[in-house]
């Protein structure tokens, strides 16, 4: 019998520079932090939160997005693994506002595209991970 799931619980992205990635994701999305290692954590807390690997987990509604520093490598959507990560916006107007926000931050992005079933806005994070905002029609 197939495993019945109802949603994606979390996605964790590996990044080379956690500080640069945090600045990017904080400024672009402003998600609340779900879990991170406090700077003055004691040994027991460090052990309990060792699964973070020095990264952070953001809460985006019913889902979690994590960043884990690796220090090496480069993203390539043409290798096995992640192609891109897309986030839902409620409307074309919200997508246009998102493009203006990216412009205000100096973040390069593609023009908004009509792909038939939805509109999409593509851009990349500091590690070149392909990100997309989408508004379904």
Same domain, 13 and 64: yes
Same domain, 26 and 63: yes
Q: How does pLDDT run across 85-124, given as a tens digit for each residue?
A: 999 999 999 999 999 999 999 999 999 999 999 999 999 9
Same domain, 114 and 133: yes
Same domain, 61 and 13: yes
Quickly list H helices, the chain.
Answer: 18-28, 43-48, 92-105
Last residue of some domain: 72, 91, 123? 72
Same domain, 61 and 87: no
* Cβ burial 109-135 (10 Å sphere, 16+ → b, else e): beebeeeeebbbbbbbbbbebbbbbbb
pLDDT of 49 over the 90 cut = yes
pLDDT on residue 29 = 98
Under 8 Å between Cβ of 121 and 84:
no
Q: How does pLDDT run across 14-35, given as a tens digit for each residue?
A: 999 999 999 999 999 999 999 9
pLDDT on residue 100 = 98
- What does pTM read for this prediction? 0.92
pLDDT of 50 over the 90 cut = yes
Same domain, 88 and 136: yes
Same domain, 66 and 88: no
pLDDT of 73 over the 90 cut = no
Instruction: Give the chain's domain count.
Output: 2
Same domain, 3 and 63: yes
Same domain, 61 and 127: no
Residue 112 C-alpha from the chain's centroid: 19
Same domain, 1 and 47: yes
Residue 56 sits in a domain whose CATH number is: 3.10.180.10
pLDDT on residue 128 = 94
Same domain, 19 and 64: yes
- Whole-number percent of the chain with pLDDT over 90: 84
Domain that residue 97 falls in: 83-137
Residue 115 C-alpha from the chain's centroid: 22
| Residue 3 domain-assigned (yes or no) | yes
**Beta strands 63-69; 85-88: pairing state:** unpaired
| Residue 78 domain-assigned (yes or no) | no
């Amino acid at each position: 019998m197939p495993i019945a799931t109802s949603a994606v619980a979390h996605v964790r992205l590996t990044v080379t520079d956690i500080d640069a990635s945090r600045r990017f994701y904080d400024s672009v999305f402003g998600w609340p932090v779900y879990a991170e290692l406090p700077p003055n954590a004691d040994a027991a807390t460090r052990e309990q939160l060792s699964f973070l690997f020095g990264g952070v987990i953001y809460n985006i509604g019913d889902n979690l997005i994590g960043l884990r520093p690796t220090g090496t490598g480069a993203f390539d959507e043409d290798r096995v693994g992640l192609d891109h990560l897309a986030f839902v916006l409620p409307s074309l107007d919200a997508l246009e506002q998102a493009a203006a926000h990216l412009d205000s931050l100096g973040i390069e992005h593609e023009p908004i595209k009509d792909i038939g079933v939805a509109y999409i806005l593509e851009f990349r994070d500091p590690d070149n991970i392909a990100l997309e905002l989408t508004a379904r029609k």
